Copies of this chain bind each other. A is one copy, B any other.
């Protein structure tokens, strides 16, 4: 068949378009697979069919396929139907409730990475995993297959790492934790992701302070020099199957691979000692301590099978961490809290010290968790700021950066309390919706500054929070949402408020 070049991308997918009559002739239907063969190379692609797009005898290719096979217009290629994929059958096994073997999982992950499975099959797989769950054996095989089909890094024999299962806004812990761990002499090459719908990912926050899109060789230099880094992991090809599955899980609002996703990334960077933060609360991803404990057991257990020491910390997740939400605002807050002179710790600093305490005792730098916390606090007081600035410089940022150098949106509005009382609960998803309307995560300078947190007393007419935006239209939209939503439960008398639900 004759190649028709179509000069656009198919969103990373390996798709070709055939004329409906040719497809019928080949015995393939839309979403079936064909093998495209040139003299030198061949590739499996998913078929779309069209009545008008391509003529009979033509095969239209998008950027992805053109580049992979190095095709040019009017080139002749062989196109033939590819038989059913074994991985497709294995997905149906999982749908039916059969536990998958190691080999079956490898086959599925291999076909995901080679883009052989179509979106319907991936959605079906993700749904089945959500409904059936994964056994410890399945999770382990899945993680191993994800790691094997991507790049892996190796920084040393003892490599620390930290991850949060996420779910509460404003969690800028890593920006402080990495310098503390690095300053203790341990290696912590931290890769992180950007936000998809949350107000900010760790990579977005770090980018306010320094470049985060580094080449592998650059990362190695930074880690050699400073013991740590804070980089975006997205372009490093670490466990790419995980990224491809996230593209399906996210629009479906499902998260069956939370654990596998985290541990596959950690294994890929060669981590040997990992602390997992599980923020737990009514409006967090993990709702109850019981649920958090079960997840923690799974993390530890599967970590063992992967020869990684994994410990979890179940942390207070009823409200945002710190007072700021949004990339720029959070970077400012992190930069001011990495110096620590006050007597009392903020919730952010307490979390950093706690997680470092876990890590320090795991690697036997200290004997007990308590000793680890004391060491972490000392480092946070004395060395963390200079270490952070060292990392900023090594990654190509300005080591003299001050909080006020980080630009934030010029439009702002305060949300005023109609009631007096005490803040008894905070609507995390509501706050996320407001920051999203204000422009996060795209507009880095947008976000929320909280004036009140749980337990604070509020007078009628007092400001609860400030919305910040780069555009006045977005500010108006965000204000509108804030006014329509109860963002904080301010309770004066319990009389009217004790009843949560009457099913």
- Name A residues whose Cβ lies closer than 8 Å to a Cβ of B: 7-9, 11, 24-25, 27, 29-32, 48-53, 63, 88, 92, 95, 97, 118-124, 126-128, 130-132, 196-197, 248, 250-254, 436-437, 442
Which residues of the other chain, B, contact A31 by a CB distance below 8 angstroms? 251
Does the CB pair A95–B127 fall under 8 Å? yes
Cα A63 to Cα B53 with chains together (Å): 11
Q: Which 5 interchain pairs have the tightest Cβ spacing?
A: A123-B123, A120-B123, A127-B127, A8-B53, A124-B127
Which residues of the other chain, B, contact A8 by a CB distance below 8 angstroms? 50, 52-53
Which residues of the other chain, B, contact A120 by a CB distance below 8 angstroms? 119-120, 122-123, 248, 251-252
Which residues of the other chain, B, contact A254 by a CB distance below 8 angstroms? 92, 95, 124
- In the assembled complex, the CB of A169 is this many whole angstroms from the nearest CB of chain B, namely 16
Minimum CB distance partner of A437 in chain B: B27
Copies of this chain present? 2
Which residues of the other chain, B, contact A49 by a CB distance below 8 angstroms? 11
Which residues of the other chain, B, contact A442 by a CB distance below 8 angstroms? 24-25, 27
Does the CB pair B27–A436 fall under 8 Å? yes
Minimum CB distance partner of A32 in chain B: B251
Does the CB pair A29–B251 fall under 8 Å? yes
Does the CB pair B252–A9 fall under 8 Å? no
Cα A481 to Cα B128 with chains together (Å): 33
Can you list 22 pairs linking A and B with CB atoms under 8 Å apart? A7-B52, A9-B51, A9-B53, A27-B436, A27-B437, A29-B196, A29-B251, A31-B251, A52-B63, A88-B253, A92-B254, A95-B127, A95-B130, A95-B254, A97-B131, A118-B251, A119-B120, A121-B123, A123-B127, A124-B126, A127-B128, A128-B131
Minimum CB distance partner of A249 in chain B: B120
- In the assembled complex, the CB of A378 is this many whole angstroms from the nearest CB of chain B, namely 43
Which of B11, B88, B124, B128 is close to A30, meaning CB atoms less than 8 Å apart?
B11
- In the assembled complex, the CB of A407 is this many whole angstroms from the nearest CB of chain B, namely 19
Cα A131 to Cα B131 with chains together (Å): 8
Minimum CB distance partner of A88 in chain B: B253
Interface centre among A24, A63, A253 (most CB of B within 10 A): A253
Minimum CB distance partner of A26 in chain B: B442
Does the CB pair A119–B130 fall under 8 Å? no
Cα A102 to Cα B364 with chains together (Å): 60
Does the CB pair A52–B9 fall under 8 Å? yes
Minimum CB distance partner of A124 in chain B: B127
Cα A253 to Cα B32 with chains together (Å): 12
Minimum CB distance partner of A97 in chain B: B131
Cα A400 to Cα B248 with chains together (Å): 57
- In the assembled complex, the CB of A29 is this many whole angstroms from the nearest CB of chain B, namely 7
Minimum CB distance partner of A7 in chain B: B52
Which residues of the other chain, B, contact A32 by a CB distance below 8 angstroms? 251
- In the assembled complex, the CB of A439 is this many whole angstroms from the nearest CB of chain B, namely 8
Does the CB pair B50–A252 fall under 8 Å? no
Which residues of the other chain, B, contact A251 by a CB distance below 8 angstroms? 29-32, 118, 120-121
Minimum CB distance partner of A250 in chain B: B29
Cα A250 to Cα B31 with chains together (Å): 10
Which of B11, B126, B132 is close to A50, meaning CB atoms less than 8 Å apart?
B11
Cα A126 to Cα B91 with chains together (Å): 14
Minimum CB distance partner of A89 in chain B: B253
Minimum CB distance partner of A54 in chain B: B8
